[in-house]
Amino acid sequence: MSHVIECQKISKRFGGNQVLKDLDLTVDAGESVAILGPNGTGKSTLIRILASVMRQSEGKVLINGSEMKDEAFALRSQIGLLSHTGYLYTSLSAEENLKFYAEMYSLKDPEKRIAELLEKVGLRTRRFDRVATFSRGMSQRLGLARALLHSPKILLLDEPETGLDQEGLDLLWSIIKTDDPDRTVVFTSHNFKSTVQACSRLIILKKGKIVYDAPKGDLTEDGLQALYHDVTGGKS
């Protein structure tokens, strides 16, 4: 059986700067994979390549056995992407943003799904308000609603906790878990506490290469911190 995500020897260069080097990675259905690593080590680049918003310089990315470059349209509809910004237009209201993305995803019954998600992220009463008036936490929850709009089988999160307090972070993860517990989630983070709570498998990147890849097991926050410093040879 093929993996949900499979990266075969992917590399990415920006000019003379090689960010990812011959990276091999497989992710199976239902896994929640945390990618940690120092700044500039290629975490966000990897997420962008998996989401097909950026092309790798070399190598292959397969989603459910299909190669991304051949079937990008169909595969993108299986992927939800959220970064530290929610990809939301601040001059539009919460509902207008979701309606716009619903059209982009050709949703069959957008009104129902939008109402359901706004309820889930606790923004139903603010649906007509412009995103510019939202707090950081509210924007990020709406960004999550946008990423979940088309019920993706794979959710890619690039440092989604940036600017969120612990309460906001807990809420974000509880929404992700309750929306679809079987969803495959790949996320990057600098937050050891939320990483330990949310992941089932841990990957540490260093200088564009995977230097640690193992199930989380019974690793605690302190244990993860010690492991991270040991593997990367520095502080996060």
> In the complex, which residues of this chain contact another protein (CB under 8 A)?
48, 51-55, 73-77, 79, 81, 83, 85, 87-92, 96, 100-101, 103-106, 146
Alpha carbon distance 120, 19 (integer Å): 37
Contact 144, 121 (CB under 8 A): yes
Number of Cβ atoms within 10 Å of the Cβ of 132: 12
Contact 185, 27 (CB under 8 A): no
Q: Is 57 or 220 the residue whose CB approaches another protein more closely? A: 57
Ramachandran angles phi, psi of 151, nearest 5°: 50, 60
Q: Is 61 or 79 the residue whose CB approaches another protein more closely? A: 79
Question: Residue 83 Cβ, how far from another protein at the closest point, in Å?
Answer: 7
Question: Residue 126 Cβ, how far from another protein at the closest point, in Å?
Answer: 17
Token pair listed for 11: 């590399």
Alpha carbon distance 94, 82 (integer Å): 16
Q: Is 76 or 216 the residue whose CB approaches another protein more closely? A: 76
Question: Residue 66 Cβ, how far from another protein at the closest point, in Å?
Answer: 13
Which residue's structure tokens are 């089988």?
Answer: 153
- The residues with which 11 forms a beta bridge, in sequence order, are 58
Which residue's structure tokens are 């923004």?
Answer: 123
Q: Is the CA virtual torsion 27, 31, 34, 40 positive or negative? A: positive
Question: Residue 200 Cβ, how far from another protein at the closest point, in Å?
Answer: 24
- 28: nearest Cα among 172, 217, 200: 200
User: Residue 68 has what DSSP assignment?
Assistant: T
Question: Residue 212 Cβ, how far from another protein at the closest point, in Å?
Answer: 28
Q: Is 52 or 191 the residue whose CB approaches another protein more closely? A: 52
Q: Is 110 or 122 the residue whose CB approaches another protein more closely? A: 110
Q: Is 33 or 155 the residue whose CB approaches another protein more closely? A: 155
- 52: nearest Cα among 90, 91, 7: 7
Question: Residue 203 Cβ, how far from another protein at the closest point, in Å?
Answer: 22
